[in-house]
Chains A and B, each alone.
Chain A
Amino acid sequence: MSPREIFALRDHLGAELKGRTISDAHDVVSLTDILSHTVLGGRLHELSGRAVLLKLSDQLRSGLAMIELDGIARRMLLCPPDLNPAHLDALIADAGIDAVVTDEPDRWAASGVPLVVTAQLPLQAAASAKTERATEWLMLTSGTSGVPKIAGHTLEALTGAIVAEGPARGPAPVWATFYDIRRYGGLQIFLRAILSGGSLVLSDPHEALADHVVRLKARGVSHISGTPSHWRKLLMSGSAAQFAPAYVRLSGEIADQAVLDGLKAAFPNASVGHAYASTEAGVGFAVNDGLEGFPADYLGNRNGVEMKVVDGSLRIRSARTAHAYIGRNAASLTDDDGFVDSGDIVELRGDRYYFVGRRGGIINIGGLKVHPEEIEAVINRHPDVRMSRAKSRKSPITGGIVVADVILADGTDPARAKEIRDQILELCRTQLASHKVPAVLRFVEVLDVTPAGKLARTDA
């Protein structure tokens, strides 16, 4: 037996709070009596001690299966919806998977995975299970083009920031996220909903944004998170006016001043803040002063999270980081001192650090390194701009030049396009070195956002 008491998700779900639900666009499931119900057809005991692949086509059953499996399975690997099926075999081998929870059992019949359990709604009544062990949570990293890396977490690490913040004051929050809960940013909201005694409203990739907002409003969502790209899409959609959350959070990409100001204007009564977190580094910190970047005195040891900047990139050591990459040829997740190198490049200006981009996202402009994000942050400051993407384009003269695609704010008069273009370029010239000023600026209707909610950077 473990010398310490182990808490699993079920141990946070008492029946004392009535009216708690987890819902998606189709179903509403009560959390109040969830412990006496099963999404696994009553087969949870078969999964005890197993390494379970959670491969479901929807978030609702995934979340319900997580609640059941945590504390029973030895490990569970969460598969986000955009996982390339070609990578499954490698992931199954690396994680030592010996069971799968799926809603498509026929597809797994001949897979070689010894145990296939079907997740199904509606829930069935079942005896409550008792926590047996600390389940290892395996999450996939996003943003890499090859086989994603598997980061190993414990529930304790995943919930470190939530426990540190303490319970939400006032009425139980109704949580929502634009993220999928099988990604780190979304999982944080799922766990907050479980631990903080509230409800959760899930997103649906097939639902139009306007319909999603209607649903968020109808369910009384008070706390909601997403990437800056998710939020810019909402601000552009014109749907924000019908919605008044109290708590708005951004993470997963750089939150620039323009999107923070845009959200503050759209939701004047909301607390608007951004958080720094990643699958590997865990939750680093939250910034709630309404400004981009973070105060320089966040470096050092703060609430158990140690941060330093080495070679421009942010390094984090805390009990909230993943503990290892999992797999046969897995790289080391931390350096010798236990710090995770985030790969996020920061720059000190005055008494504040600003995120300038990803180390791997640098574009080469005539031999000079440029972070597309710092160009986008300047373009986004123009009041008529909602979203932008900078990238490199080959040039026979200098090897490469910066070009930018720009989405104008809703309702901008197309006749002003030339005037706005000149203003944006002038803004860039005053704020950026000349080689970072876009050579060509295009106005576009849409910019691709990845399933993980981040601006697609195919050239980076």
Chain B
Amino acid sequence: MGRRVIKSRRNNEIDNKSEPAMSVRSKVIEAIQQIAKEQHVTLPALSDDLSLHETGFDSLAFAILVARLEDETGIDPFTISEDAAFPATVGDFVRAYENVPA
């Protein structure tokens, strides 16, 4: 329903530094890295097709991530969405935020 086309990414590896300063993607990645630091989780290299399970985040860490991103972006895509399937990969997770109409 009115889904915008998702820009596919050329480089599979996500480099936070190359993103525009306040893009949604960079906010999400920054929050993941911050929480990993706080929770003493060693992240593997983040890529769009990395499964969320492989990030080492438990459900509490994801709950923290979703809450912080809601504060920062005003969006909680997993509560407002009718078909709220939780994303399977890092790419799905980021797109859940990118695809919410502003």
Contacts and interface: CB of A to CB of B under 8 A. Distances in A.
Interface of A: 366, 393-398, 401, 403, 422, 425-426, 429, 434-435, 439-440, 442
Contacts of A439: 60, 63-64, 67-68
A396 B66 contact: yes
Nearest to A441: B68
25 contacts: A366-B59, A366-B60, A366-B63, A394-B79, A395-B63, A395-B67, A396-B66, A396-B79, A397-B59, A397-B78, A397-B86, A398-B59, A401-B60, A401-B64, A403-B67, A422-B38, A425-B38, A426-B38, A434-B60, A439-B60, A439-B63, A439-B64, A439-B67, A439-B68, A442-B71
B36 to A, nearest CB: 13
A440 B66 CA distance: 10
B38 A397 contact: no
Contact of A435 (B60, B76, B79, B86): B60
Given A425-B38, A439-B68, A440-B71, A396 B60 contact: no
Contacts of B66: 395-397
Contacts of A435: 60
A434 B71 CA distance: 21
Contacts of A429: 38
Interface string B47-91: 000000000000110111011100100001011000010100000
A440 B38 contact: no
A440 B76 contact: no
A222 B53 CA distance: 62
Main secondary structure of the interface of A (DSSP, over half): mixed
| Residue among B64, B66, B79 with max Cβ neighbours from chain A (10 Å) | B64
Interface of B: 38-39, 59-60, 62-64, 66-68, 71, 76, 78-79, 84, 86
Nearest 3 A/B pairs, CB to CB = A439-B64, A396-B78, A397-B63
Contacts of A394: 79
Nearest to B84: A396
Main secondary structure of the interface of B (DSSP, over half): helix
A396 B63 CA distance: 7
A425 B86 CA distance: 27
A295 to B, nearest CB: 36
Contacts of A396: 66, 76, 78-79, 84
A431 to B, nearest CB: 15
Contact of B63 (A401, A422, A425, A426): A401
A397 B62 contact: yes
A432 to B, nearest CB: 12
A409 B79 CA distance: 36
A399 B53 CA distance: 19
Contacts of A393: 67
| Residue among B38, B39, B67 with max Cβ neighbours from chain A (10 Å) | B67
Given A394-B79, A396-B76, A440 B60 contact: no
Contacts of A442: 71
Nearest to B34: A422
A422 B37 CA distance: 10
Contacts of A426: 38
A439 B68 CA distance: 8
Contacts of B64: 401, 439-440
Contacts of B86: 397
A395 B76 CA distance: 9
A401 B67 contact: yes
A435 B63 CA distance: 10
A440 B61 CA distance: 11
A440 to B, nearest CB: 5
A442 B71 CA distance: 10
Contacts of A366: 59-60, 63
A4 to B, nearest CB: 61
A390 B11 CA distance: 42
Nearest to A442: B71
A397 B71 CA distance: 16
A426 B38 CA distance: 8
B38 to A, nearest CB: 6
A396 B79 CA distance: 6
A322 B38 CA distance: 49
A366 to B, nearest CB: 7
